Amino acid sequence: MSKKYILAFAIIVAVALGISVWALSLFPTSSPSQSYNSTQYTDPDWTFPPEGEPATPLPDFPPVVAEVMPSVVSVTTEMSVSSFFGQSTEYVVGSGIITDDKGYIATNNHVVENAQSIYVELADGRTFPANIVGTDPLSDLAVIKIDATDLPYAYWGDSSLLSVGDWVLAIGNALGGGGGATQGIVSRLNASMNVEGNTLYGLIQTTAAINPGNSGGPLVNMSGEVIGITSIKIVASEVEGIGFAISSDEAKPIIEDLIRYGHVTYPWLGVWARTVDPLLAATMNLSVDRGALIVEIVAGSPADTAGLIENDIIIRFGGHELSDIADLVRAIRANEIGEEAEIVFVRGEDTETTSARLVEYPTS
């Protein structure tokens, strides 16, 4: 081999050895002192910590279902529908809650709306025609009545005592298959949801499965008390386990008015508003980050007469501090028609006070 080739080979070997040494410096091999199996972190005296209190067992669902089920009814509504092909009959199924032993049954307005005839099937299999006592589209509640007495009725609980995570059961005529029950937890309280242009307030969000036919049935706590009336669910491919019930605290006074008077009257201020939160405050450079921002005033309404204008932010109404639009709705409804309510609002940087005499909510 010529000296030229020997020299070239020597250079290649030297370069290769240099690269190997450089690579090893970047990725050092582990030594016994660097082993991931080192005993320096071990503790030969370690044991599991002593056991604490026994875990709380799951609720016993069957007794709750057995207690509530006799007071839950299946509701079938018959209505006439016009189409290109003429008149046809359509049937809507839902659920209801027997509220006393005289035959009054609470359900959803959308279950009985536009009904030509209504039939109720009791848990014992008996079927009765039903008449509408009163409906309230604003709350999506209705009361119907059957000609029967000595009925098993539901007991109502206090929804204000609920906490997120509480176990609940939804009972009703799911998919028209008769009485059934699903379990879940309370996911959120005091939720709001817009349904066909009408906003429902004070809702309970739950993971208990709510299906067509459940509407109008009870959402109950583990004492078997009605703490909500199942109403709506979000249906979307990316959504799972989001249903809503009208809380018992919102529903009870409306049901009472429907039974007593056949209708519900609401006090009215005459504003369209949106919730003020920190993001909206920063975006619009508002001087407060809570309350109800007025976006429209109805001409001639109590709000108009009181001197409120667009972009005023109501922060207190009738003695109630407001955090959002739901608080404003509740504060208005806490007053009587004809009652004068003090309103504290922010206009620009200034806090001002006025008052409005509330009138009945216009029906048209």
Q: What is the predicted pLDDT for the residue at 20?
A: 46
Residue 105's pLDDT band (cuts 50, 70, 90): very high
Cβ atoms of 226 and 170 within 8 Å: the answer is no
| pLDDT at 11 (0 to 100) | 47
Catalytic annotation present for 110: yes
Average pLDDT value for residue range 299-320: 95
Structure tokens at 256: 């009472």
Q: What is the pLDDT averaged over residues 340-356?
A: 95
How many other CB atoms sit within 10 Å of the CB of residue 322? 25
Put simply, whether the predicted model's pTM sits higher than 0.85 gets the answer: no
Please check whether residue 209 is in contact with residue 230, taking contact to mean a CB–CB distance below 8 angstroms.
no
Q: What are the φ/ψ torsions at residue 9 (nearest 5 degrees)?
A: -65, -40
Give pLDDT, residue 245.
95
Supply 343's token pair. 């309103």
Q: Which of 335, 343, 342 is nearest to 361 (CA)?
A: 335
Q: How much is the average pLDDT of 250-263?
A: 93
The DSSP output letter for 53 is S
Collapse the DSSP code of 44 into the 3-class scheme (helix H, G, I; strand E, B; otherwise coil) and give the result. coil
Instruction: Name the one residue in this structure whose structure tokens are 């059957």.
Output: 146
pLDDT band at 19 (very low <50, low <70, confident <90, very high): very low
The per-residue pLDDT for 237 is 52
140 is catalytic: yes
State the pLDDT confidence band at 22, using cuts at 50, 70 and 90. very low
**What domains can be seen in the chain, in order of their start residue?**
70-146 (2.40.10.10), 159-261 (2.40.10.10), 267-360 (2.30.42.10)
- What are the tens digits of pLDDT across the range 38-79? 677 777 888 777 877 777 777 899 999 999 999 999 999 998
CA atoms of 312 and 293, how far apart (whole Å): 6
Q: Which of 71, 110, 159, 187 is catalytic?
A: 110
What's the pLDDT score for residue 241?
64
Q: One of 74, 95, 139, 140 is an active-site residue; which one?
A: 140
First to last CA, the chain: 109
Rounded Cα–Cα distance for residues 150 and 167 (Å)? 30
From the candidates 139, 159, 215, 247, give the one annotated as an active-site residue.
Answer: 215
